[in-house]
Amino acid sequence: MTTVECLKYLQHEIHTTVAATIDENGLPVTCAVDIMDYDESGLYFLTAKGKSFYDRLVRQGYIALTGIKGKDTMHSVAISVQGKIQEVGNSMLPQILAKNPYMKKIYPTAESQEALTVFKLYEGSGEWFNLSKKPIERVSFTFGEARPKHKGYYVATDTCIGCRRCKNVCPQGCIDFRSVSATIQQKHCLHCGNCMSVCPAGAVKRLEE
Ligand SMILES: Cc1cc2nc3c(=O)[nH]c(=O)nc-3n(C[C@H](O)[C@H](O)[C@H](O)COP(=O)(O)O)c2cc1C
């Protein structure tokens, strides 16, 4: 999955996400937010200027959101994205309303649409996480100026003694021993940490963000 394919999936296939912001007391708050549009540089969503949600967005300039699609856990894909936001205002509103005509049922008249304003998530990172595949599949992506985050575990090849204990405890069977030392298949790794816990040589390391 490329970045733009992930953003498209979020807008097109998932559409409604749960978004996290921080309230005036520093506590997390979540609410449902629809992803109205996307392009290669980010995601677009809208809100009404009278909402507490709007105040939180303006105050922090940051959002984190997750959307899930699937009939149950083992048939689901989740996409999470977090990053910086800016208010675009209402210049994009006609285009967004045309693409999401159901919004006219909620805000039916031009006068009522006056409350609406568009935000762009313009710089961020995210992850596609597919639990419907065995082994699981995960893909990280970034957009804007965001630098990729490195999470998970790797094997220091010069320290690995080839005992295969990590392979035995890996729930996804994603540790290769095709060469002498182990290699973790990053795109199938759950990040459970079992491999690091059992390695007698201390060869499994945690990736730094
Ligand atoms: C399916 C669904 C989608 C929603 N999408 C949006 C949205 O895109 N923008 C928005 O401002 N509110 C949306 N809402 C409503 C917000 O989740 C709701 O107004 C929330 O309470 C906002 O937080 P606040 O009460 O702290 O302002 C949606 C609600 C539902 C049920």
Domain boundaries, the chain: 3-143, 153-206
**Separation between Cα atoms, residue 25 and residue 136, nearest integer Å:** 38
**Homologous superfamily (CATH) for 3-143:** Electron Transport, Fmn-binding Protein; Chain A (2.30.110.10)
- Cβ-Cβ contacts under 8 Å for 146 (sequence gap 6 or more): 83, 123, 124, 125
**Do the domains at 3-143 and 153-206 have one common CATH topology?**
no
Q: Is the CB of 53 under 6 A from ligand 1?
A: yes
pTM higher than 0.85: yes
Q: Which of 34, 118, 119, 121 to mutate to test the pocket of ligand 1 (most atoms within 8 A of CB)?
A: 34
In CATH, what number does 153-206 get? 3.30.70.20
The per-residue pLDDT for range 149-164, each reduced to its tens digit, is: 889 999 998 999 999 9
The per-residue pLDDT for range 177-207, each reduced to its tens digit, is: 887 788 999 999 999 999 999 999 999 999 9
Dihedral sign, Cα of residue 192, residue 198, residue 202, residue 204: negative
Assess whether pLDDT exceeds 70 at residue 107: yes
Which amino acid residue places its CA nearest to atom 20 of ligand 1? 31
